[in-house]
Amino acid sequence: MEKRVTFNERWLPYLLVAPQMAITLVFFFWPSGQMIWQSVLLEDAFGGRTKFVWFENFKSLFADPTYFDSVRLTIVFSALVAALGLAVSLLLAVMADRVIRGSSFYKAILVWPYAVAPAVAGVLWGFLFNPSVGIVNWLLHGVGIDFNYVVNGNQALLLVVFAAVWAQVSYNFLFFLAGLQSIPKSLIEAAAIDGAGPTRRFWDIVFPLLAPTGFFLLVINTLYALVGTFGVVASLTQGGPGQATNILVYKVYNDGFRGQDLGGSSAQSVILMLLMILLTFIQFRFIERRVHY
Amino acid sequence: MVENRPWLTALSHFILIIGLVVIAFPIWMTFVASTHDQTTMLQSPVPIWPGSHLIENYKTVLTSGYNRPGSVPLSVTLTNSLVMALGVAIGKIIISIISAFAIVYFRFPLRMTCFWAIFVTLMLPVEVRIVPTYGVVASLGMLDSYSGLIIPLIASATATFLFRQFFLSVPDELAEAARVDGASPMRFFWDILLPMSRTSIAAMFVIQFIYGWNQYLWPLLITTRQSFYTVVMTVSRQASVVDTVPAWNLLMAMAMLAMLPPVLVVALMQRQFVRGLVETEK
């Protein structure tokens, strides 16, 4: 889309984009360029001297089984976060769209988690499931389940998924609700007059019309699971126990800052970047199409 | 509603109430924990109703933080978070509204280059390029400063896209009329475009305030002096320290204070925020 009417000025537009371009160049392109450059360099153990090594860093990364463990873990984790997050929020949005009484009250509370930092969400869920004082742990113990996320890898992963979904539900809910409210009521009424029940109406009319929103949210939630959940992992498990919750974005940080492996960490960042580019591309292709509707 | 089905309505309320409980329960338990004394919070099961130590706990964390030698008073970290959140929100709004204005209302060489340069920042959030970004900020001497906390985070595309989207929806006749009347571009921007953008600005403010307030990794890395710590990183860092006798009451009071400002902003500006959020992505 373009404007027909524009202003003719020679220098003004440059002046207007200058601040954003300056910040983008210094704090985005410079570090990103460095990252890509680092990914083909090898620094010797005592620092200082670096050597150009082509794709050595990538090769050693792909030869490292712990990296593939992290990739596999990230796929499972993202799938769980996206699927659970979308399912729960769709259910809540459909219900909130149905009820008349109290719907603004429900909405007012369901948006809270949006305001809570993922890192703080991790703290809250860690408290609920704390092995010694967690109230949910105590309840689970009462029914014979021993839940200890500090030592049990699968339980740790499950808890990180819960906290991550909790922090993202509001966002999905608001988009689904907006999507539902934009469906013409006449369509639903016509189907009802023709004798279609609520379930039939949902699957045959509402669900297909919500598909664009759902697809958009799927991409956003995958991006969120890949990157946005860093704070949840950092305050709950720090990637542990063992490697059980060491998802890619946390591994980049861990290897780069704690492990001081700059080349390997940059190579990981580059791969993560390619993944993000792919997802962003998919998202924008799809939005372009929706605009032309 | 299309037809009256009482059982279905009841089921809807039932599901919504379960949803509310799951959403609110962690926050409720945090609040409850912040109102008891330390010994109560060390015995399982922990209470599920508030106790009588609310004022005492909050006073302690505001004046002496986690109440250990070397911990930072929360009044300091809350101020830092506020400065950071406001800086990120206001800074982002200013630089992106003027760049969106330039990109929509002018034709100039390199226009599309600028647009794409801004666009690609979407693909590489700061978490992914954290190590080199830290290096750049360190070499510019911006560690332990407000400018280091704020400026690297305001290079992002979301706000620019929202304003661009909004400007594209403004009728062409307005710009045309302004031009016919001989108004300069900046005059048009101040007197017509800016007042019309109020809702978008408010929405962006909420979204970016929360984004800035909730930053975790960035302040964690670039601050080493306590006087620049932010509240979210302080809470999270304290939570991941294994303590022999943890003071859950204080930690949870800190968590409550870390959540309160952004939750208030969302609650008070809910309408603008919801509209802005949903419209940004259209």
On whether the CB atoms of residues A5 and B176 are closer than 8 A, the answer is yes
At residue B81, the pLDDT reads: 93
Tell me the pLDDT tens digit for each residue of A17-37: 999 999 999 988 898 888 888
**Inter-chain touch B99–A16, beta carbons under 8 Å:** yes
Round the average pLDDT of chain A to a whole number and report it: 84
Residue A16 CA, chain-centre distance (Å), reads 32
CB-CB under 8 Å, A122 with B45: no
Read off the tokens for B264. 């208030």
Q: Report helix, strand or coil for B231.
A: helix
Whether residues A134 and B44 touch (CB distance < 8 A) is answered with yes
| Interface mutation target, options B15, B23, B92, B176, chain A, most CBs of A under 10 Å | B23
CB A31 within 8 A of CB B133: yes
* Of B123, B135, B175, Cβ closest to residue A31: B135
What's the pLDDT at B271? 79
For residues B172-184, give the mean pLDDT: 87
pLDDT of residue B94: 94
Q: Which residue has the tokens 């661009």?
A: B164
Cα(B265)–Cα(B221) distance, integer angstroms: 27
Q: Are B238 and B249 in contact (CB under 8 A)?
A: no
Answer whether the bond into residue B195 is a cis peptide, omega within 30°: no
Identify the residue among B16, B31, B88 best suited for mutation to test binding to A, counting A beta carbons within 10 A and taking the highest: B16
Q: What per-residue confidence (pLDDT) applies to B126?
A: 80
Distance from CA of A80 to the nearest CA of B (A): 18
Q: What is the DSSP string of A165-198?
A: HHHHHHHHHHHHHHHHHTS-HHHHHHHHHTT--H
Q: Chain B residues with CB inside 8 Å of A10's CB?
A: 108
- Cβ separation A234–B240 shorter than 8 A: yes
| Exposed e or buried b per residue across B4-29, where buried means at least 16 C-beta atoms within 10 angstroms of its C-beta | eeeebbeebbebbeebbeebebbbeb
A29 touches chain B (CB under 8 A): yes
pLDDT in tens, A69-114: 888 999 999 999 999 999 999 999 988 888 878 888 888 888 889 8
The string of DSSP letters for B142-203 reads -TTSHHHHHGGGG--SHHHHHHHHHHHHS-HHHHHHHHHTT--HHHHIIIIIHHHTHHHHHH
Q: Do B262 and A115 touch (CB under 8 A)?
A: yes
Could you report the predicted ipTM of this complex, rounded to two decimals?
Answer: 0.87
Q: How far apart are CA B124 and CA B207, in angstroms?
A: 19
Residue (of A11, A195, A231, A40) closest to B3 by Cα position: A195
Average pLDDT over residues B161-166: 86
Give the Cα separation of B54 and B14 in Å (integer): 32
How far is the CA of B260 from the CAs of B36, B185, B264, in angstroms? Answer: 19, 41, 6
User: Average pLDDT of A235-261?
Assistant: 83
Among the partner-chain residues B16, B24, B236, the one whose CB lies closest to the CB of A119 is B236
Choose, out of A5, A17, A287, A293, the residue to mutate when testing the contact with B (most B CBs < 10 Å): A17
Averaged over A226-238, what is the pLDDT? 88
pLDDT of residue A1: 59
Tell me: pLDDT of B16 over 60. Answer: yes
Closest partner residue to B45 (CB to CB) among A34, A138, A228 is: A138
Task: Tell me which DSSP letter residue B35 carries.
Answer: T
Query: What is residue B246's predicted lDDT score, i.e. its pLDDT?
Result: 79
B120 to chain A: closest CA residue? A277
Residue B278: its chain A contacts at CB < 8 A? 174-175, 178
Burial class from Cβ neighbours inside 10 Å (0-12, 13-18, 19+) for residue B259 reads buried
CB B111 within 8 A of CB B203: no
* Cβ atoms of residues B54 and B34 within 8 Å: yes
**CB contacts, 8 Å: B94 with chain A:** 19
CA distances from B219 to A65, A255, B75, B244 (A): 32, 19, 17, 27
A160 to chain B: which residues are within 8 Å by CB? none
- Architecture of the structural domain at A58-291: Orthogonal Bundle (1.10)
A127 in B contact zone (CB under 8 Å): yes
CATH (one of 1.10.3980.10, 3.40.190.290, 1.10.3720.10, 3.40.640.10) for B74-280: 1.10.3720.10
- One-letter amino acid of B93: I
- The DSSP letter of residue B47 is P
One-character DSSP codes across A85-139? HHHHHHHHHHHHHH--TTHHHHHHHHTHHHHS-HHHHHHHHHHHT-TTT-HHHHH
Tell me if A121 sits within 8 A of A163, measured CB to CB: yes
Q: Is the pLDDT of residue A291 over 50?
A: no
Q: Higher model confidence: residue B243 or residue A63? A: A63
* A192 and B CB contact within 8 Å: yes
For residue range A154-173, list pLDDT tens digits in order. Answer: 889 999 999 999 999 998 99
The string of DSSP codes covering B67-93 is SSTTPPPHHHHHHHHHHHHHHHHHHHH
Instruction: Enumerate residues 147 to 176 of chain A having a beta carbon within 8 A of any beta carbon in chain B.
Output: 166, 169, 171, 174-175
Name the residue ranges covered by the structural domains of chain B.
74-280
Give per-residue pLDDT as tens, B34-73: 888 877 777 778 888 888 888 888 888 888 877 777 788 8
- Per-residue pLDDT of A28-62, as tens digits, reads 889 888 888 877 777 665 556 677 777 777 877 78
pLDDT classification of A293: cutoffs 50, 70, 90: very low
d(CA B179, CA B275): 31
Q: Which of B184, B7, B127, B193 is nearest to A198 (CA)?
A: B7
Sign of the alpha-carbon torsion through B110, B113, B117, B119: positive
Q: Which residue has the tokens 């906290």?
A: A163
Residue A147 CB neighbours (<10 A): 17
Q: How many other β-carbons are positioned within 10 Å of the β-carbon of residue B245?
A: 7
For helices B248-268 and B74-105, give the axis angle rounded to 10 degrees: 30
- Distance of residue B238 Cα from the nearest chain A Cα, in angstroms: 9
Residue of B118, B128, B239 with shortest CB distance to A273? B128
Question: Are residues A267 and A39 in contact, defined by beta-carbon separation less than 8 angstroms?
Answer: yes
Q: Where is A50: in which H helix or E strand? A: strand A50-52
A34 interfacial to chain B (CB closer than 8 Å): yes
pLDDT digits (tens, 9 = 90+) for B101-159: 999 998 888 888 888 888 888 777 887 788 888 888 988 988 888 999 999 888 778 88
